[in-house]
Amino acid sequence: MSTSNDLQKLNSVLDSFIVQKTIPSLRSILEEPITHHLRNTQEIPLINLDLIISNLEEMNIMSAVYIKCVGDIHMGVLLYLPEEESKTLAAKLLGKPISSELAGIATSSISEIGNILTASLINAISIDMGYKICSSVPGYAVEFFRTLLEAVVSDFGNEFDTLVVSNVELHGVNSGIGIHILLIQDPSEVKKLVI
């Protein structure tokens, strides 16, 4: 079990990496200012995933990218946004409306954003703390948020019956595009980032 003090420290550490690396990466991709909010990092019982899921997320089908990070640090990174908003994002990236012929390219572009934003965070952790971390190939899915979250949680062999979850919200100031990122870790990993 992580202490409240450890979770606050983890929140601060992750926020500093997001500000230093992730926001500049997204700002460059979207070519607009980015605002962000990192909700308090929590340790959540696996039997109570509803603590992560808001009513809005429960009702929406999400486009999501999942990347598993392994090595000295183990972390799951789930980037998601409502499916309709993902089409707006893909159209902005491609510079034209998404047609059925471009659907595959749109999926690829969303996956690549997930890859870039995850790499920005993981590289910042690696450089600052000296950890060796590798990330998986992005997995892309369009599904209800609960189904996505259950798949991610099943990826963790958790002896504690809890996970530490940090919820990041990124917003394009001009476009209004909102991207959510869940950073998920076993409680045993927290001490590695708050030393």
Alpha helices for 132-181 (secondary structure H): 145-153
Domain, as residue range, for 163: 4-193
CA distance linking residue 154 with residue 191, whole number of Å:
22
DSSP structural state of residue 39: P
What total number of domains does the chain contain? 1
Token couple for 191: 């001490």
Q: Are 74 and 185 in contact (CB under 8 A)?
A: yes
Query: What pLDDT was estimated at residue 160?
Result: 67
Alpha-carbon distance of 106 to 110, in angstroms, equals 6
What pLDDT is attached to residue 23?
A: 95
What pLDDT sits at residue 184?
A: 92
Each residue's pLDDT expressed in tens, for the chain with a length of 195 residues: 678 899 999 999 999 999 999 999 999 999 999 999 998 798 988 777 777 776 556 667 888 999 999 999 999 999 998 887 887 888 887 777 766 665 666 677 788 888 999 999 999 999 999 999 999 988 888 888 888 888 888 887 666 688 899 999 999 999 899 999 999 998 888 889 987
**Which 8-state DSSP code applies to residue 139?**
E
Of 187, 128, 162, give the one whose Cα is nearest residue 10. 187
Residue 146: the pLDDT is 83
Which CATH number goes with the domain that contains 114?
Answer: 3.40.1550.10
Enumerate long-range contacts of 178-181, CB under 8 Å, 24 or more apart. Answer: 178/81, 178/85, 179/26, 179/79, 179/80, 179/81, 179/89, 179/113, 179/117, 180/79, 180/80, 180/81, 181/77, 181/78, 181/79, 181/80, 181/117
Please tell me the predicted confidence (pLDDT) of residue 159. Answer: 66
What pLDDT is stored for residue 70 in this prediction? Answer: 92
Residue 158 pLDDT? 62
Distance CA 133, CA 151 (A): 22
pLDDT of residue 55: 54
What's the confidence (pLDDT) of residue 38?
92
Q: Between 103-129 and 4-17, two packed helices, what is the crossing angle to 10 degrees? A: 120
Give the residues across from 143 on adjacent strands: 62
Judge whether 119 and 135 are in contact, CB under 8 Å: yes
Do the beta carbons of residue 106 and residue 31 sit within 8 Å?
no
Residue 142: its pLDDT value, please? 87
**The predicted structure's pLDDT at residue 58:** 62
